[in-house]
Structure 1
Amino acid sequence: MRTLVSRLIHSNPSFSRLNVTASSKIARSFTTDSNQVDEPFKVEEAETVNIPPPPTDKLLVLGGNGFVGSHICREALDRGLSVASLSRSGRSSLHDSWATNVIWYKGNLLSGDSLKEALNGVTAVISCVGGFGSNSYMYKINGTANINAIRAAADQGVKRFVYISAADFGVVNFLLRGYYEGKRAAETELLTRFPYGGVILRPGFIYGTRTVGSLKIPLGAIGSPMEMVLQHAKPLSQIPLVGPLMTPPVNVTSVAKVAVRAATDPVFPPGIIDVYGIQRYSQHKSK
Structure 2
Amino acid sequence: MRTLVSRLIHSTPPISRLNATAVRNLCTEPNKVDEPFKVEEAETVNVPPPPTEKLLVLGGNGFVGSHVCREALNHGLSVASLSRSGKSSLHDSWATDVIWYKGNLFSTDSLKEALNGVTAVISCVGGFGSNSYMYKIDGTANINAIRAASDQGVKRFVYISAADFGVVNYLLQGYYEGKRAAETELLTRFPYGGVILRPGFIHGTRTAGSMKIPLGVIGSPLEMVLQHAKPLTQIPLIGPLLTPPVNVIAVAKVAVRAATEPVFPPGILDVYGIQRYSQQHK
Q: TM-score, normalised by structure 2?
A: 0.88
After TM superposition, the structure 1 = structure 2 runs for residues 1-287 of structure 1, keeping only pairs within 5 Å, are 28=22, 31-32=25-26, 34=28, 38=32, 41-286=37-282
Shift of 1:111: 2.2
Higher mean Cα deviation, 60-69 or 175-184?
175-184
Query: Where in structure 1 are there 5+ consecutive unaligned residues?
Result: 1-19
Residues 63 and 86 of structure 1 are in contact (CA less than 8 Å); yes or no, is this contact kept in structure 2?
yes
The one-letter code sitting in structure 2 at the alignment partner of 1:31 is N
The one-letter code sitting in structure 2 at the alignment partner of 1:236 is L
The aligned counterpart of 2:8 is none
Higher mean Cα deviation, 205-214 or 246-255?
205-214
Shift of 1:151: 0.8
Higher mean Cα deviation, 42-51 or 192-201?
42-51
Secondary structure of the 1:74 match is helix
Give me the whole-angstrom Cα distance separating, in 1, the residues matched to 2:215 and 2:98.
Answer: 26
Give me the whole-angstrom Cα distance separating, in 1, the residues matched to 2:162 and 2:275.
Answer: 15
The change in CA–CA distance for 1:61 and 1:29 in structure 2 (over 3 A counts) is farther
Q: Structure 1, residues 109-167: CA drift from partner, whole Å, max 9, x if none?
A: 12222211111111111000111112121111111111110111111111111000000
Residues 65 and 91 of structure 1 are in contact (CA less than 8 Å); yes or no, is this contact kept in structure 2?
no
Shift of 1:70: 0.5
CA RMSD of aligned residues (A): 2.2
What is the percent sequence identity of the aligned residues? 83
Secondary structure of the 2:109 match is coil
The one-letter code sitting in structure 2 at the alignment partner of 1:221 is V
Give me the whole-angstrom Cα distance separating, in 2, the residues matched to 1:132 and 1:218.
Answer: 20
Q: TM-score, normalised by structure 1?
A: 0.86
Query: Where in structure 2 are there 5+ consecutive unaligned residues?
Result: 1-14
Secondary structure of the 1:53 match is coil
Residues 75 and 257 of structure 1 are in contact (CA less than 8 Å); yes or no, is this contact kept in structure 2?
yes
Matched residue count: 267
